[in-house]
Amino acid sequence: MKKLVLLGSTGSIGTQTLEVVDFLAGEWEVIGLTANKNIDLLEEQARKYRPSYLVVMYESLARELEYRLADQRVNILLGLEGLEYLAGLPEADLVINALVGAVGLRPTVAALKAGNKVGLANKESLVIGGELINKYLEENDDFILPIDSEHNALFQILSGHHRDEIKEIILTASGGPFLNLPREGLKDVSVEEALNHPNWNMGCRISIDSATLMNKGLEVIEAHWLFKQPYDKIRVVIHPESIIHSMVEFIDKSIMAELGVADMRIPIQHVLTYPERKWGIGKSLNLLELGKLTFRAPDLEKFPALGLAYAAGREGGSLSVVLNAANEIAVEGFLNKKIPFTDIPRIVEKTMDLHETVAHPDLDEIYEIDKWARRMAEEVLVGCF
């Protein structure tokens, strides 16, 4: 059996990954699982999969888990160091990084440094550390297996093609729950409405990011680093049905698309069985039932977050670190009902304005700038700027 380390096993991608592991019975042995603070679910997973290692982010929870799992042979590690240790386990055949947020970069780097294959669902790794990650990948002549549905689609479309053959990458976006809401209505939307994504079943943070289109903006930056394309060759098209997960137009004007039902278990399975294909866990797409697919341009005035992400990506260096950190703080502020929905991009923009870009930040600088940006965004949020 191949050995899997799954970082972020209690989240949306984590639990769906374990569903696919169950479905592919006998192929994967789970050797490491991690949770932020959901130790009830982590305990349940530990009893089912019997991994050698668990990581939680808080000491008191680690002690509690040790007590509960006293009858199990398992090493319980703590925090970021624990995540890095698991990511770098020499016996791992695949490390799936399904962590949420900037915290995911260090474990991605640890996995790549150890020469481990990475299945990446943590988009922040590339958004804040894309240049560093590509350096490690180039050194090892390695590549990442993307799990984000759009990038997994692009990865599938592009395999066997040289990047010089790409005319344009077309990232599709559902448009989120407020696609058809008039712009003036956005400032009054509730947390519950913003969390109600029309097509995908996702975690809290990414649901809000989908509603602001920041998620698509982060994905533009992700695509830039994964497929090494300039930003003017990465276009976003709103496709409310979420059936086409992304497209590539090649220089001969041929366009290729990847289609399927909106089910994250499909790209997860693609990564778990790569380079083979196996009978899938997902449902087949019924084109006749669907009838038609629609497309429109994104409204950048209504959803300024997308433009901010392009601006950060184009500027390069540390500005995307600030974009991401300020967004995490602003989204938290919205979820805690401290600010209206429309303040999310405003806080991000203001924090970006306060930053002086560092051209090629190293790992420590990235996290310093991340911390700085969080502090500044908090101050912007409470009205200091």
Shortest separation between residue 108's beta carbon and Mg ion, angstroms: 17
Q: Which stretch binds Mg ion (CB under 5 A): 90-98, 145-153, 191-199, 265-273?
A: 145-153
Strand partners, 325: none
Pick the binder of Mg ion from 124, 148, 209, 263 (CB under 5 A): 148
Nearer to Mg ion, 106 or 197 (CB): 197
Shortest separation between residue 337's beta carbon and Mg ion, angstroms: 26
Please list every residue from 54 through 93 that binds Mg ion, using CB under 5 A: none
Q: Does 258 bind Mg ion (CB under 5 A)?
A: no
Site string for Mg ion, 260-279 (x = CB under 5 A): --------------------
Nearer to Mg ion, 108 or 149 (CB): 149
Nearer to Mg ion, 148 or 332 (CB): 148
Shortest separation between residue 151's beta carbon and Mg ion, angstroms: 7
Shortest separation between residue 205's beta carbon and Mg ion, angstroms: 13
Question: How far is the C-alpha of 154 from the C-alpha of 159, rounded, in Å?
Answer: 8
Q: Which stretch binds Mg ion (CB under 5 A): 113-121, 141-149, 349-357, 377-385?
A: 141-149
Shortest separation between residue 171's beta carbon and Mg ion, angstroms: 9
Shortest separation between residue 166's beta carbon and Mg ion, angstroms: 19
Considering only CA atoms, which of 204, 202, 290 is closest in space to residue 241? 290
Shortest separation between residue 173's beta carbon and Mg ion, angstroms: 8
Question: How far is the C-alpha of 298 from the C-alpha of 188, rounded, in Å?
Answer: 21
Question: How far is the C-alpha of 367 from the C-alpha of 363, rounded, in Å?
Answer: 7
Nearer to Mg ion, 150 or 263 (CB): 150
Nearer to Mg ion, 148 or 328 (CB): 148
Which residue is nearest to Mg ion, using beta carbons? Answer: 148
Nearer to Mg ion, 222 or 332 (CB): 222
Q: Which stretch binds Mg ion (CB under 5 A): 12-20, 150-158, 176-184, 271-279?
A: 150-158
Strand partners, 95: 5, 118
Shortest separation between residue 133's beta carbon and Mg ion, angstroms: 18
Nearer to Mg ion, 61 or 202 (CB): 202
**∠128-272-8 over CA atoms, to 5°?**
50
Nearer to Mg ion, 84 or 148 (CB): 148
Question: How far is the C-alpha of 317 from the C-alpha of 233, rounded, in Å?
Answer: 19
Query: Cα 229 to chain center, whole Å?
Result: 19
Q: Which stretch binds Mg ion (CB under 5 A): 31-39, 140-148, 275-283, 374-382?
A: 140-148
Nearer to Mg ion, 112 or 206 (CB): 206
Which 3-state string (H, E, C) describes 46-93? Answer: HHHHCCCEEEECCHHHHHHHHHHCCCCCCEEEEHHHHHHHHHCCCCCC
317 within 8 A of 355, measured Cβ to Cβ: no
- Total of residues contacting Mg ion (CB under 5 A): 3
46 within 8 A of 69, measured Cβ to Cβ: yes
Shortest separation between residue 148's beta carbon and Mg ion, angstroms: 4
What lies within 8 Å, CB to CB, of 34 at 6+ separation is 6, 7, 8, 9, 42, 54, 55, 56, 82, 83, 86, 99
Tokens for 70? 């006293």
DSSP string spanning 242-307? --EEEEEEETTS-EEEEE--S-THHHHHHHHHTTS----SSPPP-HHHH-----B---TTT-HHHH
Nearer to Mg ion, 17 or 149 (CB): 149
216 within 8 A of 313, measured Cβ to Cβ: no
Q: Which stretch binds Mg ion (CB under 5 A): 28-36, 112-120, 143-151, 283-291?
A: 143-151
Question: How far is the C-alpha of 276 from the C-alpha of 348, rounded, in Å?
Answer: 41
The DSSP call for residue 361 is -
Residues lying near Mg ion in the complex (CB under 5 A) are found at 148-150
